[in-house]
Amino acid sequence: MNDPQLLAQCIMLGGTLLFLKALAQERTPWAGLAVMVIAGFFKHNIIMLPASVLLWLLLRGEKKMFAKCLLVAASFIAAGFMLCYWSYGHDFIFNFFPSRRILLSKGPLALFDLSCVLLPATVAFSILWKKRGDQGALLILIMLFIGTIVTFLQRIGSGVSINSQFDFNIALAAAVGLAFHFLSDSSLSWKKISQETLQLSFLLVLVLPFLCAPELDQIPHLFSRSFYQDAKRRENIVLQEVQRIHDIPGDVFCENSICYLAGKPFVVDFFNINERMKTGTISPYTVTDRIKNHLLTKVICNPDITWPSPQANFLDKLKAPFRHSTTFEECCSQSR
């Protein structure tokens, strides 16, 4: 998935590593906490790792270190908010706390999204549960628990896709790695099956879900000349659209990526405006009135700047009844 949240996850993982190394050396993890807080300002909803390590401290009985880390983290967060407010003013607060609809009917979507990793997750969890006395296994079990909760709570938010699963996938990746390592432990041997056979069987459990992944039908594109020709054609269209948007005076309301490449200021957040309209926190005419008064130019870009939607697979058909449209255009037409 092409999502800027992945950058924040990378920073958060680095902060977590610094945090754990400091604890191993019996030092207060100042640097790790600072990096983790910085990651939160890149993307504010990645809470699985910091929540997990703090809960892990409590379960280890390190209450003083837990309180100290909580105080330090809160201080860093407060400093970050003050710095952002000083830099961006009220716009930062307005965009950081957007209105968001919670749609409980989307609950089954979380189950559909997790179905492809359910088998390896169950096997890894079972192995780690048997070794829960190990501090590493305990930490990753906590990560799986919190990651599952975070995935569900975020997935039922309006407009949220499978990017809600990033935290859980990180926890699962760690769980799979440690579970594979534990399979070399003789205490986990089952009857006369060797450790090598157990590890090989676990690898097969990991591979099988990928064979059912709906994205596999995209692999032939790698060997298709027409695919690369089409990619070049679309790239040229993007460059043309960027130049066209760049030449329009004043603020522009169009595809975000094109506006960005054209050097236009980011004045309309499609999703943010849409949600605020649907929750009634702003007038439905907030944007349309600016367009009518020639303060904002709405530009419809060439549809070939993006790839066409892939054909629906059986999972998409199952998910269809739970989907909710959140397009800005639909919201405006309903508001009128």
Q: Same domain for 61 and 21?
A: yes
In the chain the beta strands, taken as DSSP E runs, fall at 252-253, 297-298
Residue 135 lies in a domain: yes
In 126-184 the beta strands, taken as DSSP E runs, fall at none
Q: Report the C-alpha gap between 172 and 124 in whole angstroms.
A: 8
48, 171 Cβ separation under 8 angstroms: yes
Q: Same domain for 233 and 260?
A: yes
28, 72 Cβ separation under 8 angstroms: yes
Q: Same domain for 111 and 189?
A: yes
pLDDT (tens place) for every residue of the chain, 336 residues total: 677 889 999 999 999 999 999 999 988 899 999 999 999 999 988 999 999 999 999 999 999 999 999 999 999 999 999 999 999 898 888 778 777 788 888 888 777 878 778 888 999 999 999 999 999 999 999 999 999 999 988 888 887 888 889 999 999 999 999 999 898 877 666 666 777 888 888 888 888 777 766 667 778 888 889 989 999 999 999 999 999 999 999 889 888 889 989 999 888 877 778 888 887 777 878 888 888 888 888 888 899 988 876 554 444 544 555 454 444 444 444 333
Q: Same domain for 11 and 39?
A: yes
Q: Same domain for 2 and 63?
A: yes
Instruction: State the number of CA atoms in the 13 A half-sphere of 120 facing the CB.
Output: 26
Residue 207 lies in a domain: yes
- φ, ψ (nearest 5 deg) of residue 108: -60, -25
Q: Same domain for 235 and 257?
A: yes
Q: Same domain for 85 and 180?
A: no
Number of domains within the chain: 3
Q: Report the C-alpha gap between 148 and 335 in whole angstroms.
A: 36
Q: pLDDT digits over 247-294, tens only?
A: 999 889 888 889 989 999 888 877 778 888 887 777 878 888 888 888
Residue 299 lies in a domain: yes
Model confidence, pTM: 0.79
Instruction: State the number of CA atoms in the 13 A half-sphere of 213 facing the CB.
Output: 12
Domain around 80: 1-98
